[in-house]
Each structure stands twice: as C-alpha cells, then as structure tokens.
Chains A and B, each alone.
Chain A
C-alpha cells in the first residue's frame, strides 16, 4: 500500500514539473491567484540580499552582492586622465556591466547582450543626471587632471533583476572607495601617494533601485522578479530612490499601461527597500 502511495506522490511531483515546463504562464497564474509566488515568497518580498566588500585586492574598491541567486561583483579602478573640455572640473564614472555566457545559458558568446548595454547605460545616466555625488570631487586640478573611475560589474550567476544587484554592488563599492591624494607637479606629471589612500569618497545620497514586474492576469505587482518571472511578466518598472526619500529615477519602458495606483505601490515598496538596503550597505 505504501509503495502505491509513494508512487502516486512521485507521479504528482513529476507532473508538477511537466506542467511548469509546458504551461509556464498558467503555472505562475495559479500561484498568483493565491497571492504567493512559486518560490514561496509573498508578492512584495525581496530576496535575501548579502553584500561583501573589499574582496578584490587589486581593485581600488570592490563589492559582491548576492540577491537571491543573482550574484554580481563590482570592481572599481581609479585612473587619471584629462577632463572634458566642456567640464574641466569634473571627473568621470564609467560603469560597464558584463553578462557573459557563464552566468546563464540565455547569454551567448559574442558582442555584449542588449541587457548588459541597457543596464550599463541606465547606471551611467543615473549618476550623470541626478546629483548623487558631485563629479567635482573627482577633480585633481581644474582643466588638467581628473580621476576616472572604471566600475566593472561582472555578473556571475543570473537569476533575474540584474539592475538592482548591479546598482547595489556599485553603490557599496563606491561607499568604501578611498582615493590617494594626488597633485599635478610642475613637469605636468600627476603624483599620487598610493601607499596612503586617505580621501574617502563622500556619497551624499545612496541610490537604491527596486524593480517590479507587472502581471495583468491576475493583477499583481511582483517585487524583485527572478528569471522565470521576468520572462513571463508583461512589464518591468524600476524605481530608484535615495535615503532622503527622494525619487532619483523612474524607468518603465513603455510596454503595457499600468494604473497610477500600481505606481504608488511601487514607490511605497521602493522606499521600504531603500531604507533596508542603506543600512545593509553601511554595515558591509
């Protein structure tokens, strides 16, 4: 009798997996109707987040972020270069997100996938447009030499929501960045006291991104979608807020139309998330 029962149980669990494969939409819908997700999370819960800083000694600053399964490493290297003619007192922040075939079977070898380029550009725009940290603080000498921060963000394991994880890693690395004191000598060479990096980088406001996935049937707003939810979702909304309660950036790329009420919920959940993550970064 018991073998029959256990056989039945085995068949049931196998049929679950088969159903998940052939009807992924329906599978997810059945969970959402009960306000829960296939991995057991409630609709507004973000995955467990871990931040470690300083693991890469060759980089000026580094951080590794684990957002559920998505793992991202950010390494910042500082170099000196001449400033832009039109902005002689500002340095640069150059983010570069790498999504290699290593992190997921979705990405194939070749030119950087669209997702990587979109994420890099998003981060670049975020730091250039909102006044998150003054690029003037990267200036060594007006018109002659500035710091350029190359932030390379490498994704190791892709399980959805690369944007949140990348920004978190970059912010964590920036908060621990220390630059050496540099000055331009008479011979036009920049001398930096590398052995003693003292200038701590001041981040006035810490930006935290929260990404949500919108479903129409049933109407649901999922926080922090994983890879499966991302592919099935109708629309993704990203909200970047800072610790002072200000919205830095809202991104909704015009797929499906959503309610203003839904947007309000995004902001509320985003605010909660920002507070949690800001404490986590400070503790890291």
Chain B
C-alpha cells in the first residue's frame, strides 16, 4: 500500500504549501437579500455559506427566555460536497455535533442579554468539503453575525492545525485529514487572544500539544486579518452609499 507523502523532506505539502501556511481565504458578506446577515467563505477548496436570521420571534414560545436571546444553529452538508455522494439528513449525529460546537462557541460571545425573548438562527451550508469544515463554519458564522448587526464581544476566528511526521502544520486539507494526521481546531477571540473552542478527536503526543496549539492560534490571527479587512471594506462601501 503506497503511502502518500504528506510532507516532503523539503518541507512542501501535497498542495505545495509550507508547514505554517494557511490556504487562501476568500470571503464575502451580504450575499443574500432574505437573510438578515450572510457570508460566504472559501478556504482553499472548502466552501461554506452562513445565513443569520435574527433577532426574531422564536418558534417555540415556551423555550424563550425572558433575559437572554436563544441561539439556534443548523449545520447542513450538501450531498455533492464530498467526493462520494452522501445524503446526510439534518438530524445526523455528526451534523448535530458540529452544530452544538458552533452554538457553544458563539453563546458567550454574542451579547445575548441585549436581546431578550428573541431567537437568533444561524444556518450553515457546506458546498465543497476539502477539510477544515469546522473552522470554515465558525469563520463564516462570525462574518454573517457581524453582517446582521448582532452585538458581539469580538470576532471568533478559527483555524486547524495538525502534526505530520512530528512537524506542526497549519490548516489541514481533506487528504491530510483522512490520513492518520492528528488534527486540532482552535477558535480564538483575537483582541484578547482568549481561546473559545478547542477540538481534537485524534491522538496527539502531549509534548507536541503546546506547539500545535500555538501554531493554530497564530493561524487564527492571520484569519482575523483577512476577515477584518473584508468587513471593513464592506462597511466603508455601505457608508459611502448611505451618504451618497
């Protein structure tokens, strides 16, 4: 069985990146008219769309809380997004797990006390799956929430990192994820540097944990720069149109 060389001796990965290089990020906000806020992100070949509706009246009256806004996240993978067609139902355990991660990531960041008795819905859709889905979703959700004007403490920027042949690498793609590469996803609040989410399902030697986590955090800062520039550009455009 031939083993793919994920990291050549010269330090190049399968797609030609170096160990600490992020994939190219393209981001756009306000892509749809019906949603209160929307964003589209491409990280390498992973394409993710986020739509935010809210704050709006909740669906179930009994679940409404008198002092907080309720956050509801739905995660959906399009059947044509993976190399083998997999029609995942919405209530699939994996999808629910992802949705819960994202919900728990954003609950402390959104200033929910300012919007009591309401519901904020975040819908995430993956169009192309090439690794780094959780980080892509978190980044897209952040941009969509900002686009919807929902008050938050800070951006939430996420990045994944792993360890190939004892070398920490940043932002794994699908091929690297499917081989036995340990993968760690970290979501960070850039202004304070505080970590919001850490997710790892594989085995990683404890001595490597520190360096991989640090690398991921640095990746988050780079992601933050990109997202912030897109948001600022959009806001300037809006401001110019308003003043015109």
Contacts and interface: CB of A to CB of B under 8 A. Distances in A.
Interface string B123-143: 101011110000000000000
A154 B125 CA distance: 10
29 contacts: A56-B81, A56-B128, A57-B45, A57-B128, A58-B82, A58-B83, A58-B129, A59-B80, A73-B127, A75-B79, A76-B80, A77-B80, A101-B74, A102-B74, A103-B32, A103-B34, A108-B59, A150-B79, A152-B78, A152-B79, A152-B87, A154-B127, A156-B125, A157-B32, A157-B33, A157-B34, A157-B35, A158-B34, A159-B34
B34 A58 contact: no
Interface string B195-215: 000000000000000000000
A59 B126 CA distance: 13
Given A104-B34, A154-B78, A159-B34, 13 more contacts: A56-B81, A57-B45, A75-B81, A77-B79, A77-B80, A96-B87, A100-B76, A101-B53, A102-B49, A102-B123, A103-B34, A103-B51, A105-B34
A150 B51 contact: no
A75 B49 CA distance: 15
A4 interface: no
A12 to B, nearest CB: 20
Interface of B: 31-35, 45, 47, 49, 51, 53, 56, 59, 74, 76, 78-83, 85, 87, 90, 121, 123, 125, 127-130
A62 B80 contact: yes
Interface residues of A, number: 29
Contacts of A154: 78, 125, 127
Nearest to A158: B34
A158 B33 CA distance: 9
- Interface majority SS on B: helix, strand, loop or mixed? loop
Nearest to A68: B33
Contacts of B51: 102-103, 156
Contacts of B45: 57
Nearest to B52: A102
B85 A150 contact: yes
A26 interface: no
A96 B89 CA distance: 13
Nearest first, the 4 closest Cβ-Cβ pairs linking A and B are A75-B80, A102-B123, A59-B80, A157-B32
Contacts of A24: none
A19 B31 CA distance: 28
Contacts of A71: 32
B70 to A, nearest CB: 14
A51 to B, nearest CB: 17
Contacts of A103: 32, 34, 51
Given A57-B45, A58-B129, A77-B85, A101 B78 contact: no
Interface string A37-74: 00000000000000000011111001000000101010
A193 interface: no
A62 B59 CA distance: 34
A105 B59 contact: no
Interface string A151-174: 010101111000000000000000
A1 interface: no
A33 interface: no
A149 to B, nearest CB: 10
B50 to A, nearest CB: 9
A188 interface: no
